[in-house]
Chains A and B, each alone.
Chain A
């Protein structure tokens, strides 16, 4: 507890804002998490490769290292709950069930991309999968996500909005305008701070006051918060279930601070000189979210190395297929320049 944090939220993070130890996963759950996380990792590795080959342009922000956050949260929510985030969103899209081919083809700017080649890496959407973007302005997705929650409450449909943002965006003024209204109006929204430690090149200690307690950022508004090991998919799911139940029951928003780490640079053009190679290596070796599940699958669930390799092979095939599609799909027709500016009334 921070000194001066209101007692009203004390019960929500009684153990220093840390979530209770997660219940173990069944074999099926671990398999599901493994498959989903591995798909994101392999997809992102391929995207990085295609970027290096010049097939993907502009900015490209990879999610490698953070996979457990979005996969654990998807395991915690119900069908129809919405997801919205910023521009590091390839993982979120795959986790909501969007087609890797459509995502990869958008990265290459092709007509088969989710935005028909007009959005690119940072701007993709799928109403059918309740994925609301894909937003390029740091922090802008936070009020937008609360707006989705506003619609849920207005309709009384019981849905919850999962609004993701980084620890860097957590310093934006509009985040606190949104916290205020979301709490005031008891909107069903979970604010998920993906604290990957670096806002581009600025370490969280250098940009955020009380950087060790980002989960308490909603405290002044009476929003409970928890700090979660974002590299442990079980911890994420457990915290997500608790937060979703809270939001769905009409008690209002919830903050989850996911302590996570991105292995790659901020974007493909970031040499990441602001941290040591040792720091990255150590995190990969000791905290990798996928490796942790892999160990459990073999140790606790009797999976063999070969079985896991087989899964990896299948996933690589899916990703290769998406890359193949993304390179061969035609570019959008020139007439597309002028479409979708406004809806014809």
Chain B
């Protein structure tokens, strides 16, 4: 029986990839450990090693094929005495089809969540007729940094693996080449130290962009973010500002468990002296990061690893910025207001789309900025819909949702027809097991249930 070689998952979040190149040919003898192919993910080109020994039978996926789902058979290995023509590939077809179906189901779901471009209301700040370019969040962030670095020599990027490695998540791809090692600086793994050095450089008037590989590691540096960067302007009576950007992946990734899956939205939104943004779309990621770099204050950009590879329309403009502190109504509706940010928007938008099929028209607001928090936009919407559901991946206690619910209750109490409801991550450290992880994160179903609850339609 030939053995299938399956398309491997090369990162926690990889769902598909490009089979870039075969390094072996049909009929070659291969041993375990041999490099047999190169696979491109959205982050990197990786080599695939053979696990089994034998003769390469049939190549099932040709070099250059894009979007090959993880676990798709890409070739077969023959045992002694078998030959490629005798390989019962067709007999394997049902088995092959099974994972393929699973994958495509996932893809459908992810298409539904990554296609909000069609749903999202056009941005009024984009001039009519502007060309829109489909861009990943990853590219949008890179473009934002590159544009600001071209415009201002005081802007530089520092962090772990940002230069030669091109970014642990490939956000800084190409920046070292364009700007050199004076302005794109690899640091040792010392968050506390380099956050302090970045903050000191900002006191001296430079405009550092400090990348944390993820915000989980910024816990090592939180003293400088809060005590040094956020408070010094006030403590100095306005003399010493700190024009710095701290950015990186925030929130749950996939199957990386408790210490690598935490949303810091409420932690930092709590702190006077900071500004905090958490974009969902590529256009907002680009526009908000550019605004953050120009802002004379410390601005924290909470990105999301799962969103890095997703594509959205970004306006092709010389200088696209998004104002910090302005929420956006991305879907209009009269029946209920759903407020979310970052990856929570995927659940909010999918829920709104499915609720529409049931005749419930949800208004969806993307907060985009968490400090300052644009409560006015939320309150205006609630005055129209009279119902509120907040959606986020963070823990529920003292969360952004908690704050929104309190503000709405205080400022629009008479407009509410039901108590506001929060949809959030479960109040537990993130578990590793796939089923438990899924249970710990919110879903579109949770949002739909919450909307029905506040609509008394259970």
Chain B residues whose C-beta falls within 8 Å of the C-beta of A114 in the assembled complex: 236-237, 239
Q: Is the CB of A181 within 8 A of B236?
A: no
In angstroms, Cα B220 to Cα A88, docked, is 26
In angstroms, Cα B197 to Cα A34, docked, is 35
Q: Is the CB of A151 within 8 A of B236?
A: no
In angstroms, Cα B297 to Cα A145, docked, is 19
Q: Is the CB of B239 within 8 A of A126?
A: yes
Q: At the interface with chain B, which of A14-22, A249-257, A270-278, A334-342?
A: A334-342
Chain B residues whose C-beta falls within 8 Å of the C-beta of A151 in the assembled complex: 200-201, 204-206
Chain A residues whose C-beta falls within 8 Å of the C-beta of B223 in the assembled complex: 137, 140
Q: Is the CB of A119 within 8 A of B235?
A: yes
Q: Chain A residue with minimal CB distance to B295?
A: A345
| B241 contact from A117, A118, A174, A343, Cβ within 8 A | A343
Known: A115-B239, A143-B192, A177-B192. A340 touches B198 (CB 8 A): no
Q: Is the CB of A341 within 8 A of B233?
A: yes
Residues of A within 8 A of B (CB): 82, 84, 113-119, 123-127, 132-137, 140, 142-152, 154, 173-174, 177-178, 180-181, 184, 339-343, 345
Q: Chain A residue with minimal CB distance to B193?
A: A177
Q: Is the CB of A143 within 8 A of B200?
A: yes
Q: Chain A residue with minimal CB distance to B229?
A: A144
Chain B residues whose C-beta falls within 8 Å of the C-beta of A174 in the assembled complex: 192-193, 196
Number of A-B contacts (CB under 8 A): 150
Query: Shortest CB–CB separation between residue B104 and chain A, in angstroms?
Result: 46
Known: A119-B235, A147-B202, A151-B204. A181 touches B188 (CB 8 A): yes
In angstroms, Cα B272 to Cα A118, docked, is 14
In angstroms, Cα B260 to Cα A182, docked, is 29
Chain B residues whose C-beta falls within 8 Å of the C-beta of A143 in the assembled complex: 192-197, 199-200, 224
Q: Is the CB of A343 within 8 A of B297?
A: yes
Interchain residue pairs with CB less than 8 A apart (26): A115-B236, A118-B235, A123-B235, A132-B203, A132-B240, A133-B235, A134-B235, A137-B223, A140-B228, A143-B194, A143-B197, A143-B199, A143-B200, A144-B200, A148-B201, A150-B197, A150-B201, A150-B204, A154-B156, A154-B182, A154-B206, A174-B196, A178-B193, A181-B188, A342-B275, A343-B296
| B198 contact from A113, A123, A147, Cβ within 8 A | A147
Q: Is the CB of A133 within 8 A of B273?
A: no
Query: Shortest CB–CB separation between residue B148 and chain A, in angstroms?
Result: 14
Interface status of B190 (Cβ within 8 A of chain A) = yes
Chain B residues whose C-beta falls within 8 Å of the C-beta of A115 in the assembled complex: 235-237, 239
Chain B residues whose C-beta falls within 8 Å of the C-beta of A177 in the assembled complex: 188, 190, 192-194
Greatest chain B CB density within 10 A among A116, A147, A148 is at A147
Q: A140-B196, A343-B241 are in contact. List 4 more A-B contacts (CB 8 A).
A: A119-B236, A134-B236, A143-B195, A339-B238
Q: Is the CB of B234 within 8 A of A142?
A: no
Interface status of B135 (Cβ within 8 A of chain A) = no
In angstroms, Cα B194 to Cα A113, docked, is 31
Chain B residues whose C-beta falls within 8 Å of the C-beta of A145 in the assembled complex: 200
In angstroms, Cα B203 to Cα A340, docked, is 15
Query: Shortest CB–CB separation between residue A223 and chain B, in angstroms?
Result: 14
Chain B residues whose C-beta falls within 8 Å of the C-beta of A126 in the assembled complex: 239
Query: Shortest CB–CB separation between residue B155 and chain A, in angstroms?
Result: 11
Q: Is the CB of B239 within 8 A of A342?
A: no
In angstroms, Cα B235 to Cα A125, docked, is 9
Interface status of B187 (Cβ within 8 A of chain A) = yes
Known: A125-B232, A140-B223, A180-B190. A113 touches B237 (CB 8 A): yes
Chain B residues whose C-beta falls within 8 Å of the C-beta of A144 in the assembled complex: 196-197, 199-200, 203, 224, 228
Interface status of B294 (Cβ within 8 A of chain A) = yes
In angstroms, Cα B273 to Cα A140, docked, is 18
